[in-house]
Amino acid sequence: MLDATTPNCRWFAVERGLYPRIVAALDAGTSNMRLSLRCVIWCVMPVAAGLGLAPAHAQLRGHGGPIRALAISADGMTVLSGSFDTSAIRWSLRYNLAEQVLRLHESAVNAVAILNDGRAVTGGADALIGIWTPGKPVPDAILRGHEGPIVALAVSPDGGTLASASWDRTVRLWPLAGGPPIVLKGHQQNVNGVAFVPDGTAVVSVGYDTGVRIWPLPQPVSPNVAELPAPLNAVATALDGEIAAAGADGNVYFLSPSGKRLGAAEALPGPIVALAISRDGQRIAAAGINGVVALIDRKTQNVVRTLVGPGMPVWSVAFLPDGRTLLTGGGDRAIRRWDAETGEPLDPPERGPEDPLAAYAGETGARVFRACVACHTLAPDQGNRAGPS
């Protein structure tokens, strides 16, 4: 017999739609009633892998609420997702399965990261940060100190420091080897994004106060501050040090490593809530609550393609290491794969939740309603979202 929590049984269960129910049962406290599957299927996954028969691309589904955050491992084989349903899930892209459900937080998991050693990091609206070893049911460490929701995480290039951004208006730099964090104060409103520059000499933070703060390291005492025309929801850095900041006005702003403004791209008609730069630095993905993702050529600062999903908010974006494959996560509770070169979805068509506003596109009432449902649950079966339900 094989335990239902082993990788072989998980693959079998996911392929047949059983895995979410198995995990839910175990997480609900019934692990003493160990679910088992007979050895008939124990060798299926290794044999399939040996024959090169890994499952075809498919949307990754399993969360009970909108997907708020995504992180991808350096080898591109693992995805970590955080959701408004209070959980994080570690996914295998090789087998298109959920390898582990991480449960610690009492509210939304707003931010996730994968450390250089493969451990997962989750940050929640409950102001907690969990650090997880793959396969372990409880976190190795829980970092406490923030006094408001944690909304962004970043790992330093050398892997030694974790940065967290919070609505308590601070950024904290946590030494992963142990010791107290360095607290960065200066933002006048909620901090929404944080990123390290690639050479590790600075950390960049943005927030509702419209300021981009570039904190020099290792002594982040006097940041360079660049003021922009709109509140900022996210930030990302390219290998050459260029900074991209996502505006609530739908623009992506470009800055030099010192904070000099280099231009802007009119990306979306509404607020941008997530941003990602491909590893090769050629593309930027900007996602919004209107359900659209703009793909921007970083060199020309022009939108070259627009990705349109099921019409629900897209809360998270991340590029695979190939620089061409883009993952998105949003209100439909699915992780979708896209070809950033062509703009086409890589997943086979799958019927998701209907967009109730499709017939009213462009009407003022529809826009207002869509803005509300981006954060508020209006029906009992819609799961947790950002705001009160």
**211 token code pair:** 């300021």
Closest to 64 measured CA to CA, from 82, 49, 78 = 82
pLDDT reading at 173 higher than 60: yes
How far apart CA 377 and CA 389 sit, in angstroms, is 5
Residue with tokens 């079998």: 12
Q: Which pLDDT score is estimated for 163?
A: 98
How far apart CA 156 and CA 168 sit, in angstroms, is 22
How far apart CA 118 and CA 155 sit, in angstroms, is 12
Q: Which pLDDT score is estimated for 44?
A: 36
With a CB cutoff of 8 Å and minimum separation 6, the contacts of 289 are: 270, 271, 273, 313, 314, 315, 370, 371, 374
Query: What's the Cα-to-Cα distance from 170 to each of 155, 157, 181, 191, rounded to whole Å?
Result: 17, 21, 12, 7
Q: What is the pLDDT of residues 243-282, one digit of tens each?
A: 999 999 999 999 999 999 999 999 999 999 999 999 999 9
How far apart CA 293 and CA 275 sit, in angstroms, is 9
Q: What is the pLDDT of residues 363-375, one digit of tens each?
A: 666 656 655 665 5
Cβ–Cβ < 8 Å for 178, 220: no
Closest to 183 measured CA to CA, from 138, 151, 220 = 220
Mean pLDDT in residue range 53-82: 87
Cβ–Cβ < 8 Å for 285, 293: yes
Strands 141-143 and 129-132: antiparallel
How far apart CA 198 and CA 186 sit, in angstroms, is 23
Q: Which pLDDT score is estimated for 347?
A: 83
Q: pLDDT over 70 for what percent of the chain?
A: 75
**Cis peptide bond upstream of 345, omega within 30:** no
pLDDT reading at 71 higher than 50: yes
**25 token code pair:** 């049962």
Q: What is the pLDDT of residues 222-234, one digit of tens each?
A: 999 999 999 999 9
The structural domains of the chain, with segments of one domain joined by +, span 1-54, 115-359
pLDDT reading at 62 higher than 70: yes
Q: What is the pLDDT of residues 332-352, one digit of tens each?
A: 999 999 999 999 999 876 554
Mean pLDDT, the chain, whole residue set = 84
**Is domain 115-359 classified as CATH 2.130.10.10?**
yes
- Main-chain dihedrals φ then ψ at residue 130, nearest 5 degrees: -110, 140
Q: Which pLDDT score is estimated for 338?
A: 97
Q: In one letter, which amino acid is 216?
A: P
Q: Which pLDDT score is estimated for 311?
A: 83
Secondary structure class of 23 (helix, strand, coil): helix
How far apart CA 261 and CA 131 sit, in angstroms, is 36
Q: What is the pLDDT of residues 96-132, one digit of tens each?
A: 999 999 999 999 999 999 999 999 999 999 999 999 9
Q: Where is pLDDT greater, at 175 or 4?
A: 175
Closest to 261 measured CA to CA, from 215, 216, 228, 296 = 228
